[in-house]
Structure 1
Amino acid sequence: MAYRATSLPLVLLGGATVGLLAGCSPAADSDADAITLHAIELGERHRGEITSASELNGKDGSRFARHTLTLDEGTLVEFALGGALHGSLALYDDETQLLATSASNPYGPPADTLRRRIDEAGDYLVVVSGVDAHSFGPYDLNSREIELSGSGSELAVSESLDGWLQDGPATYPLTIEESGLYRIEMHSDDFDAYLELAGPGNFFREDDDGAGNLNARISDFLEPGDYTVTARSAFGEGNGLYQLSVEPQELPHDGELRNGGEIAVGESLNGWLPGQRLEYTLTLDEAAVVTIDLKSDDFDAYLELSGQGVSTSDDDGGEGLDSRIRQRLEAGSYTIVARSFSSGASGLFELAVAAFDIGDLPSGGELTLGEPLQAWLEPGARDYYAFEITEAGRYRLDMMSSDLDAYLELEGNGIALSNDDGGSGLDSRIQTHLEPGEYRAIARSYNNSSSGTYTLSLVAE
């Protein structure tokens, strides 16, 4: 590659300019006559090598090479470093101001990739550097222009666009022509996405991590009108690429939504969380173990249950971010609150109540070798089971439950053992040698407050 003249003032200043701007101290013997600038073109690949003869960073002993190119205003450029060199990239403008480095974004692309939107046409400098004094080898410097629709573009329903966030938020007008349920999502691998939606009648919604993995999502009923979507990073930190989309959503089943009222045992309903809590009434004619599930793809579900001296709640007791409460309830009336873990979230959800009779489930008693039993643990309870060993040998005691973190204790005949997670997952298991005699198994939850069904078994190994 031929070298060329450049208007960059750092050529006359020697290596000190780059070194100081990069937070480095170049070698004391840097000489303007020894500076080598490699002229490159956007979209082409440049091959180079960092060797012991390359320019020296006097602060950490690493070596670096400089490359110049001319860029147009508004161009979104990407530089990617490949090859054997373990290195990094830095970009400077023609005033020797550091604009970006490949390691400046903790959420962003790999440390060998640098992206930047160019605000002013002119000559720019790309510096390829080894990460330390022992980093040498050949490298490929690839560059390209990234084409995307930028801030101010019209955001249309059932379409998506790519954007670039730099030096502040990006805003998009959105026109809704038909009333209905819509989902707006913002995804980025470069920063923590944050969405805001403003519309007629002081309508306002915002979301940080509603789509998971630091991505944002707003789901809501929108009336016809003009809205403004603001795409930004959480806490105002981070630059990078993102994807923005607006999609209409179908209502579940026949489109009926119940946002409050009565719910019966064995019933499942769909509702819409409008950014605030919803209340349902559950009435039991007789005591039962009740399972309440709140599921949603739009928000982090949170359940509350109160009444008849009961007051409990759950965040992620179901699958993923869904909620589940399983509780033994006496006959009477109860209030179920469906809401999101974070305030202001909205979206579709399913609420279901199921129950089963606990009249035949023990909470202590006798345990027979080789005969597993299903039991019910009250909140804060310790269930005691007596058993007799008639033949010396190795035995296994298991407590298994999908409702609680099981905890086992074994006492008797000079033995005092306990176990938390010795079984599968949060199940408990005690394996030991037992002599003939009388023993007692104690079944409880690890936190001494959970309740639910469990299976207890004793087998000879």
Structure 2
Amino acid sequence: MANRASTVTLVALGGAAVGLIVGWQLPDSTTTAAPVIDAAEAETEADSASLPSLQLDERLRGEITSASELNGKDGSRFERFTLTLEEEALVEIELGGPLQGTLSLYDADEQLLASSANPAYYDAPAAASLRRRIDESGDYMVVVSGHDMHSYGPFTLTSRLMELTTSDTLEMPSRADGWMQDDGDTYSVTIEESGLYQFEMRSSDVDAYLVLEGPNGYRREDDDSAGNLDARIADFLEPGEYRVIARSAYEQEGGLYSLELGPHELASDETLRNSGTLAMDEPLHGWFSGETLTYEFTLDAPAAVTIDMLSSDFDAYLELHGDNVFVSDDDGGGELNARLYSPLEAGSYRVTARSHGSHGSGLFELRASATAIDELPSNGQLEVNSPVSARLQPGVRDYYELVVEEAGRYRLDLLSDDFDAYLELDGQGQYLRDDDGAGGLNSRISAHLEPGSYRATARAYGNSESGSYTLQLHRE
């Protein structure tokens, strides 16, 4: 315990007093002097006086009156008591009764350790209790003071020891009660089976902050996801050893907190899969936590495939990869859901599922369906300097084939006054996309193309948009 070099005077809390002076203070130099006891003499007399003793688990009655000791700074009155405490004890002291007052706890060197005015919430009214974990065994001083010079009345004072979790290893599931002090507390926990788990930290004393670290560089942090100033981390975890760090978001005084961990309630209702085969007409559920998830499917014959990613927790984003195929979508499924629709040749394909911008986390549903087709649909062939005008229907994508006979730089434009144009060009190892490259809401792809066949897709950025458009190809 750090000791001050010189003895300091007592503090009556509630945001009011900074020193104890027995007798009267001089407001200014023009006031008629009243007898003032020397500060050193006052401290000696106070130290020699026998203070009432406060016993753990017993109720003590007292009263603030005009005869109580005076805080010369604001005129409030206070009473002092001694309390014997053991090292590592967590003590809670409560003030009851009609008195509008506050509590403070000092060590043997008269250093303030805790106050019933919570420093974490400066605009909150002062509480009538305080808690503190004790660093050294010894006698401590408890001070009961009125809020101001008008605060008088009887009070009750009680103290008790609180039980804390002493182990730094937690079971899954379990609950731990701890005391936040200095850099926080670190616990270890073993995850036996892959699944969805939740870690929650709550406190009325400090702004809770959680850190979860695990195998292969895994790390998640959270501040206020549990509401108010409480923290929560919910994630899909693989088996392994994890570290849970419970601390405060800012540099604050100590405080009590609870830590609860266990399987997430959704895990009992759904089997979560974050990789593997995406079967047609067999929806699956997964958990996104910042890392792109990958699924595969195979078509034995040409088919028009629709893939949906639905989530109420984050902005879903889908990508489809295959031989000369790359399709992506953000909000094509409405709201923040993603939908891909693409006619595909027989073959193997890869679906990546994530959030837009890789932000957020949460539960999602992924489902796919396929309709057999004889051949890939086409709205015709697009030739250089021969614009095509057509009308796009809601939720539809129009496909055009273009054949490049001579290598060079080409410009492909999709122009519309009716909808936000979105253009795709696939083929010969190229997967090109554009939204507003032609200005306004028009699209443009400008690229060097090698000889071969390509597929141009004309669609709207939003799934429900429709209208007339012009698609044109020029050599630059």
Instruction: Decide: shared fold, TM above 0.5.
Output: yes
What is the CA deviation profile of residues 231-255 of structure 1, one whole-angstrom value per residue up to 9, with x for unaligned ones? 1111243421111122124636552
**TM-score, L = length of structure 1:** 0.58
1:23 correspondence with 2:33: no
Within 1, Cα distance between the matches of 2:127 and 2:104? 11
CA contact (8 A) 1:64 1:130 kept: yes
Q: Secondary structure at the match of 1:251?
A: helix
Q: Cα distance, 1:168 vs. partner?
A: 1.9
Which amino acid is the alignment partner of residue 144 of structure 1?
R
Within 2, Cα distance between the matches of 1:237 and 1:122? 25
Q: Secondary structure at the match of 1:247?
A: strand
Listed as ranges, the matches of 1:310-329 within 5 Å are 325=335
Task: Specify the structure having the higher radius of gyration (Cα).
Answer: 2
For 2:300, the equivalent position in structure 1 comes to none
For 1:172, the equivalent position in structure 2 comes to 187
Within 2, Cα distance between the matches of 1:241 and 1:193? 10
Taking structure 1 as reference, are residues 192 and 122 closer, same or farther at Cα in structure 2, changes over 3 Å only? same
Taking structure 1 as reference, are residues 157 and 340 closer, same or farther at Cα in structure 2, changes over 3 Å only? farther
What is the CA deviation profile of residues 250-309 of structure 1, one whole-angstrom value per residue up to 9, with x for unaligned ones? 636552546799999x998633112246799xxxx9xxxxx996324xxxx346799xxx
Taking structure 1 as reference, are residues 254 and 199 closer, same or farther at Cα in structure 2, changes over 3 Å only? closer
1:84 to 98, 105, 111: 98
CA contact (8 A) 2:10 2:20 kept: no
For 1:391, the equivalent position in structure 2 comes to none
2:78 to 64, 76, 83: 64
For 1:39, the equivalent position in structure 2 comes to 53
Listed as ranges, the matches of 1:202-221 within 5 Å are 202-221=217-236
CA contact (8 A) 1:294 1:349 kept: yes
Which amino acid is the alignment partner of residue 262 of structure 2?
E
What is the CA deviation profile of residues 383-409 of structure 1, one whole-angstrom value per residue up to 9, with x for unaligned ones? xxxxxxxxxxxxxxxxxxxxxxxxxxx
Q: Cα distance, 1:36 vs. partner?
A: 6.3
Q: Cα distance, 1:48 vs. partner?
A: 0.4
Q: Cα distance, 1:220 vs. partner?
A: 2.5
For 1:233, the equivalent position in structure 2 comes to 248
CA contact (8 A) 1:259 1:273 kept: no
Taking structure 1 as reference, are residues 254 and 158 closer, same or farther at Cα in structure 2, changes over 3 Å only? closer
Listed as ranges, the matches of 1:101-180 within 5 Å are 101-107=115-121, 111-150=127-166, 152-180=167-195
Within 2, Cα distance between the matches of 1:83 and 1:105? 23
Within 1, Cα distance between the matches of 2:358 and 2:232? 13
**How many aligned positions are there?**
332
Q: Percent identity at matched positions?
A: 48
For 1:401, the equivalent position in structure 2 comes to none
Taking structure 1 as reference, are residues 251 and 143 closer, same or farther at Cα in structure 2, changes over 3 Å only? closer
1:295 correspondence with 2:305: no
Within 1, Cα distance between the matches of 2:205 and 2:141? 23
Structure 1 portions without partners, runs of 5+: 1-8, 286-290, 314-322, 359-377, 380-451, 453-461
1:255 to 253, 258, 271: 271
Within 1, Cα distance between the matches of 2:356 and 2:104? 43
Taking structure 1 as reference, are residues 49 and 312 closer, same or farther at Cα in structure 2, changes over 3 Å only? farther
Within 2, Cα distance between the matches of 1:96 and 1:326? 59
For 1:405, the equivalent position in structure 2 comes to none
**TM-score, L = length of structure 2:** 0.56
1:50 to 61, 64, 89: 64
What is the CA deviation profile of residues 174-225 of structure 1, one whole-angstrom value per residue up to 9, with x for unaligned ones? 1222333222221222211111122222222222222222222222333333
Within 2, Cα distance between the matches of 1:216 and 1:210? 5
CA contact (8 A) 1:303 1:325 kept: no
CA contact (8 A) 2:309 2:364 kept: no
Taking structure 1 as reference, are residues 101 and 195 closer, same or farther at Cα in structure 2, changes over 3 Å only? same
Within 2, Cα distance between the matches of 1:278 and 1:93? 55
Within 2, Cα distance between the matches of 1:148 and 1:223? 29
Within 1, Cα distance between the matches of 2:95 and 2:223? 32
Taking structure 1 as reference, are residues 173 and 279 closer, same or farther at Cα in structure 2, changes over 3 Å only? closer
For 1:411, the equivalent position in structure 2 comes to none
Q: Secondary structure at the match of 1:74?
A: coil
What is the CA deviation profile of residues 151-189 of structure 1, one whole-angstrom value per residue up to 9, with x for unaligned ones? x43110011121111122101121222333222221222
Taking structure 1 as reference, are residues 92 and 236 closer, same or farther at Cα in structure 2, changes over 3 Å only? same
